[in-house]
Amino acid sequence: MSLPNTMNAVAIRMPGGPEALQATTRPLPELRPGEVLIRVAAAGVNGPDLVQRRGGYPPPPGASDLLGLEIAGTVVAVTEGAGSLKIGDEVCALVAGGGYAEYCSAPARQCLPLPQGLTLLQAAALPETFFTVWSNIWDRGRLAPGETLLVQGGTSGIGVAAIQIAAAFGNRVFATAGSDEKCQACEKLGAYKAINYKTEDFVEVVRQLTDKKGVDVILDMVAGDYVARELKALAPDGRLLIIALLGGAKGNADFSTVMLKRLTVTGSTLRPRPIEFKAAIADQLRSRVWPLIDAGKIKPVIHATFALKDAAQAHTLMESGTHIGKIMLLP
């Protein structure tokens, strides 16, 4: 098929607020061995996009400077090393940047097939959150059958994915959210108990509902002053997984608690990790999570969609914190 030489995209004019995003025209991405070119049908908006727009999260070496970490669409070009992928295949993919555009390159090993019954828009809502959740809760956090999980920010894209996957595996899940409406949404997604952090103390609620034991794993997007409270909420041998710093990068904590309860405090970022690492996560998702989506036990939750040219409005909505689930862009 004949491809254009240029494409519509949204770029960062200069670091700043949502108004820093600007529609532009770019050449099509040049493919490297093992990559495919995807005509983007939809792209997800994620927290790291906002941080990069403000100037705080530069792309890793070799990645596009355009925002966008997850896409879905149709493969329109392949390179040597792309495996079984071929032109015309519909896929969703985790990318290190470049999703806010009409075309995006992706490592073939980071592409996944569309789950049964899902549209391209729905599939585009999966990669960034599902890869992040799996690599942290199961790879790093080693959440085991019968253990309990606390998800901070249960109605974020990450939170929605974490609640659904863990609940589908049979784990008891607690979640925090900032309103009664959001708490109800968390429980509809499978949370055993959702806690309104504005009116309740999640430490006390969790301890009451676990016979004062605490939870085994906490997925934390807040950090800051939350860490000290989370150490209290963890069970012996519990694991605290920090994946974002919405509450700040610094906080005070009593590390005697870490020693006495044999706690593990860890954190990670996904974007700079090598293709081999992300490919291993893709394999785990394909074998263990995609069948649950095929069966309808896990569903993407999309709050709103915007045209690509209106990406600034999408960022404004995400920063408002009023959304439940994913915010998506349509080129």
CATH of the domain at 138: 3.40.50.720
Q: What is the pLDDT of residue 107?
A: 98
The answer as to whether 302 is a domain residue is yes
Q: Token pair for residue 282?
A: 């893709």
Residues forming a β-bridge with 119: none
- One domain, residues 169 and 243: yes
> Which of the listed residues 248, 267, 286 is the one where a domain comes to its end?
267
How does strand 103-107 pair with strand 35-45? antiparallel
- One domain, residues 199 and 262: yes
Average pLDDT of 35-41? 98
> Which of the listed residues 213, 244, 267 is the one where a domain comes to its end?
267
Q: What is the pLDDT of residue 3?
A: 95
Q: How far apart are CA 280 and CA 286, in angstroms?
A: 10
The answer as to whether 293 is a domain residue is yes
- One domain, residues 114 and 215: no
- One domain, residues 250 and 137: yes
Q: How far apart are CA 6 and CA 9, in angstroms?
A: 9
Q: 246 falls in which pLDDT band (50, 70, 90)?
A: confident
Q: 292 falls in which pLDDT band (50, 70, 90)?
A: very high
> Which of the listed residues 267, 282, 314 is the one where a domain comes to its end?
267
- One domain, residues 160 and 231: yes
- One domain, residues 240 and 149: yes
- One domain, residues 29 and 92: yes
Q: How far apart are CA 58 and CA 296, in angstroms?
A: 37
pTM (predicted TM-score): 0.96
Q: What is the pLDDT of residue 86?
A: 97
The domain containing residue 35 runs over which residues?
6-126+271-330
Q: How many helical (H) and strand (E) elements, i.e. helices and strands, does the chain have? A: 11, 15
Average pLDDT of 51-62? 94
- One domain, residues 306 and 202: no
The answer as to whether 108 is a domain residue is yes
Contact at 8 Å (CB) between 187 and 176? no
Which residue, 247, 319, 276, 301, is CA-closest to 129?
Answer: 301
Provide the terminal-to-terminal Cα distance of the chain, rounded to the nearest Å.
20
The answer as to whether 206 is a domain residue is yes
Give whole-number Cα distances, 249 to 3, 57, 222, in Å.
Answer: 45, 14, 9
Q: 251 falls in which pLDDT band (50, 70, 90)?
A: confident
150 pLDDT higher than 70? yes
Which residue, 33, 47, 156, 49, is CA-closest to 98?
Answer: 49
The answer as to whether 171 is a domain residue is yes
- One domain, residues 258 and 285: no
How does strand 111-113 pair with strand 215-220? unpaired
The number of distinct structural domains making up the chain is: 2
Q: Token pair for residue 181?
A: 């409406």
User: Which CATH number does the domain housing residue 77 bear?
Assistant: 3.90.180.10
- One domain, residues 152 and 226: yes
For the chain, give the percent of residues with pLDDT over 70: 100
Nearest-10 crossing angle of helices 180-189, 157-168: 40
Q: What is the pLDDT of residue 139?
A: 96
- One domain, residues 113 and 13: yes
Q: Which residues of 50-73 are buried (b: 16+ CB within 10 A; e: fewer)?
A: bebbeeebebeeebbebbbbbbbb
Q: Token pair for residue 277?
A: 């690492």
Q: What is the number of residues in the chain?
A: 331
Residues forming a β-bridge with 45: 327
The answer as to whether 167 is a domain residue is yes
Contact at 8 Å (CB) between 198 and 227? no
1 pLDDT higher than 90? no
Task: Give me the amino acid identity at 48.
Answer: P
Q: What is the pLDDT of residue 96?
A: 97
- One domain, residues 169 and 251: yes
The answer as to whether 198 is a domain residue is yes
Which residue, 201, 190, 210, 211, is CA-closest to 148?
Answer: 210
Q: Can you tell me which residue has the tokens 């009023």?
A: 322
Average pLDDT of 46-73? 96
Q: What is the pLDDT of residues 186-196, one digit of tens each?
A: 999 999 999 99
The answer as to whether 1 is a domain residue is no
Average pLDDT of 247-266? 93
